[in-house]
Amino acid sequence: MKRPLFLRTDARKYSRLGVRRKNKQVYRKPKGGENKIRLNKKGHWRKVKVGFKNFNPDRYKVDNFFPIIVYNISDLSKITKSHVGIIGKIGMKKKLAIVQHAEKHNIKLGNVSMQKYVKKSEEKIHERKNVRKKILDKRKSKKEIKKEKAEEKKTEKKEETKTEIKNEAKDHEHKHTEHKHENKQMENKGWI
């Protein structure tokens, strides 16, 4: 279908809208209530619509290859010599696995430079592991400190209970000896 000439309303009437002035011939959407172009009336100019685009054989191509969006490793099997893989919006671990698989099997990926990405992502993973390790070490040290404090409290309580028991025993012996001493005095005086 031949592409029609799209002009605004009254472009053939007024010089300021495009009569004998090509640079003024610009399309504007018809907005009038009874505008014949807006109503798609027969015998009037065409309105811009979907379907009038020119054919372009390189449309939708990336570097002269047809793109296939890749979300997992199984999607890489769809890529042939006339296709290029475009990695979709996925996480770093999955993306790293896809890039490594593509590099191993010589599959083209359009939006990733493979070696750089592998290097950067491995560094990030290593950093995250180190940070995680530090956090876990801090947690362990905090737990150990709590355990030590709890053990100290237990030992203090045990020592306190031992000293209390010893003190009670001494008090009891002391009272018992006093009682014996009183009995002896009473015997000496002859009261018993």
> What does the alpha-carbon distance between residue 40 and residue 45 come to, in Å, rounded to a whole number?
8
Residue 192 has pLDDT above 90, yes or no: no
Q: What is the pLDDT at residue 86?
A: 95
Domain ranges of the chain: 1-54, 66-112
Summarised one tens digit per residue, pLDDT across range 30-39 is 999 999 999 9
pLDDT > 90? residue 62:
no
pLDDT of residue 128: 92
Burial of 4 (0-12, 13-18, 19+ CB in 10 A): exposed
Q: pLDDT tens for residues 76-109?
A: 999 999 999 999 999 999 999 999 999 999 999 9
* Predicted pLDDT at 191: 63
Query: Of the segments 95-104, 129-138, 151-160, which one has the largest average pLDDT value?
Result: 95-104
**Whole-angstrom Cα distance, residue 190 to residue 101?**
110
What is the rounded CA–CA span in Å between residue 2 and residue 81?
34
**Residue at 108: amino acid letter:** K
Q: Which of 22-26, 39-43, 45-49, 169-173 has the lowest mean pLDDT?
A: 169-173
Compute the distance between CA of residue 192 and CA of residue 52 in angstroms, rounded to an integer: 134
